[in-house]
Amino acid sequence: MIALTIALGLILAKPQALLAASPVLLLWALAPAVVSWLNSPPRAEEGPLHENEKEFLERHALLIWRYFLEFGGPENHWLIPDNVEEKDTFQVRKLSPTNLGMLFNSRQAAHEFGFITTEYFAEASLGTLNTYERLEKQRGHIYNWYDIERLEAIMPKIVSAVDSGNLAASLYSLHTGALDVLKAPLLSEEVLRQQALEPRSKESGWVAEERGRIRESFKAFRSKYAPWLDPKFSVLLHHDGLAGLHKVPTLQGAAKFASEMDRRLAEFKGVGVDGSDLTALVAELRGLLRVTAERLAKLASDVTEISRRADEYANAMQYGFLLVKARKLLSIGYDGITGELYGACYDLLASEARMAFFLAVAKGDISQECWFRLDRSHVLVKGRACLVSWTGTMFEYMMPALWMQPFANTLITRALESAARIQRDYVRNMPWGISESGFARMDTSGRYGYQAFGIPQLALKYGAEDGPVISPYSTFLAMQMIRDSSIENLHKMESMGWTGEYGFYEAADYTEGREPRMVRSWMAHHQGMSLLALANLLRDDCFRKWFHANAIVRATELLLHEKPLSKESKEALEEAVVAKPGELAAGASAA
């Protein structure tokens, strides 16, 4: 700005200087656009999404939301069980930090999709925040597992660096997302449009019933918080003497809007354009407005409180004590009983721990050097260079990208693109998508097992070749990189009967033959990741925008612009790799 002022001063003093200064002025004018372009996500290869595909994805978003709606209420202290099995609707009533974060963000997604009103969003979010305050903490972190019924930490009391990173990302997104709710219209155009539409006749069962309940809940919300939008008052609000009162205000300005409407109605003579007497109608609306203004002020205050507390709780998490100083890496965990760190560390960039490292640097708790200590070894799989991960799961690569913007032509984004395509091409004659998930074999108590399944060519850990066990949530994660292939894969899964009351089942286990055994359960963090991925796709990258709207994220996001493997490095990698499927050591060490 100072440079511009000086330049303009020179031009006014010496008009002939305009020609010489024009290149500088042009660059200055283009700077915002250039910065926006550099910070933009990769341009999608696919075109606009067809309406029938939007309906397909939104229907599954509603089914996924059902999990959080039915199990995340006051009967569970506004927390969410780790998983639910279809048989007898058995709830495993344990809570992890990641599950908690997914619960917060799932409500935001539901609000964006128009599944819930702002009133419910505020009530449920504050309910969870109030419970969160009661949980035992260690330097701002909650422990890795809690008994939902007793609200007590489950032994051993461990602070997990990676789970805390996930929760913090969710809280930062809740902080700025709640601010957006305040700035948004009290009732969105989409909600108002949906209210005017006839029910979708091709829907049936719970989805159709829930659509009806949603319509009724928004009708009740309108009556309670925006009574002036009732059609019976339209003759008043479109009167020349009351111009502008038919608009929908923002939540933060709604209470003032209602009070102003009451004042103007008090001055209104109560005569219609046709000479009709509107006195009774004016009195009726004014009677509603007085209590409405109080409700609106309370709702705005509640949403403001959600934003404030989410930011406070995220900032309270300290990461310095989780650092293994000798290695300049975050430990996998801290024992709250002994006060000791685990010796094992997260050390790969292609890991879900990417978020914890990023936020620890952003908060100033650890140095930027720690970020660059994360290993960037590559492997080459059928011509595609990809960062090495521990178990080759979709989860490791894609989960942080639910919040972190995958900037175009960067090291991380190229790895995510490669990982998604390698996953897609890994299997034949079955749906694709492999990650850590439940599997069909049960333990002695009748509960499903759980394991990290992955792509052997991408994995450092032995055992990734077990399976294949296909997890639908992996496809929702891959949708961030290969949209159309992922949607086609979801259609295939649905046609094979892989869905239940809460959307796609946890997994399909192919370890014993061509016909899969279904893992008929749902896991909170897998449901949450799927819902966030859908919200990003269908609602303009909302979670990434909310996350990056935080000042500490914006100040640190340059770390995410690291350039990908150069052409020369890739050629060297190609020469170094010994082409045996599943052998990784040569490729990884060569990079």
pLDDT(568) > 80: no
Between 276 and 96, where is the model more confident? 96
Per-residue DSSP letter, 553 = H
Q: Give pLDDT tens digits for 508-563.
A: 999 988 899 999 999 999 999 999 999 999 999 999 999 999 999 999 999 999 99
The pLDDT of residue 469: 96
The pLDDT of residue 415: 97
Mean confidence (pLDDT) of the chain: 89
Lowest mean pLDDT among 31-35, 199-203, 520-524: 31-35
CB–CB of 531/492 below 8 Å? no
Provide the whole-model pTM: 0.89
Residue 19: band (very low, low, confident or very high) from pLDDT cuts 50, 70, 90: low
pLDDT(143) > 80: yes
Integer Cα distance of 49 and 335 in angstroms: 48
**Cα 210–Cα 214–Cα 219 angle in degrees, nearest 5:** 150
HSE-CB at 98 with a 13 A cutoff on CA atoms is 23
Q: Give pLDDT tens digits for 318-334.
A: 999 999 999 999 999 99
Across 254-271, average pLDDT: 91
pLDDT(575) > 80: no
Q: Give pLDDT tens digits for 81-119.
A: 999 999 999 999 999 999 999 999 999 999 999 999 999
pLDDT(372) > 90: yes
The pLDDT of residue 586: 34
The pLDDT of residue 45: 59
Q: Give pLDDT tens digits for 169-183.
A: 999 999 999 999 999
pLDDT(42) > 60: no
Q: Give pLDDT tens digits for 66-76.
A: 999 999 999 99
Residue 204: band (very low, low, confident or very high) from pLDDT cuts 50, 70, 90: confident
Residue 195: band (very low, low, confident or very high) from pLDDT cuts 50, 70, 90: low
CB–CB of 137/213 below 8 Å? no
Domains of the chain, by residue range, sit at: 2-38, 54-317, 376-519+556-591
The pLDDT of residue 106: 98
Q: Give pLDDT tens digits for 390-421.
A: 999 999 999 999 999 999 999 999 999 999 99
pLDDT(31) > 60: no
pLDDT(437) > 50: yes
Integer Cα distance of 256 and 44 in angstroms: 42
* Backbone φ, ψ for residue 56 (5° rounding): -60, -45
The pLDDT of residue 461: 81
* Displacement of CA 144 from its chain's centroid (Å): 20
pLDDT(18) > 70: no
Give the other-Cβ count within 10 Å of 252's Cβ. 17
Lowest mean pLDDT among 132-141, 171-180, 235-244, 298-307: 235-244
The pLDDT of residue 570: 67
Domain 376-519+556-591: assigned CATH number: 1.50.10.140
Peptide bond into 468 cis (omega under 30): yes
The pLDDT of residue 587: 34
The pLDDT of residue 513: 80
pLDDT(565) > 70: yes
Q: Where are the beta strands (DSSP E) in 363-417?
A: 378-381, 384-387
Closest by alpha carbon to 288, among 237, 224, 239, 229?
A: 224
Residue 31 identity (one-letter amino acid): A
Lowest mean pLDDT among 124-138, 265-279, 428-442, 572-586: 572-586
pLDDT(457) > 60: yes
Across 356-380, average pLDDT: 97
Closest by alpha carbon to 517, among 462, 427, 449?
A: 449
CB–CB of 335/323 below 8 Å? no
Integer Cα distance of 177 and 151 in angstroms: 27
Q: Give pLDDT tens digits for 281-330.
A: 999 999 999 999 999 999 999 999 999 999 999 999 999 999 999 999 99
The pLDDT of residue 191: 75
The pLDDT of residue 310: 98
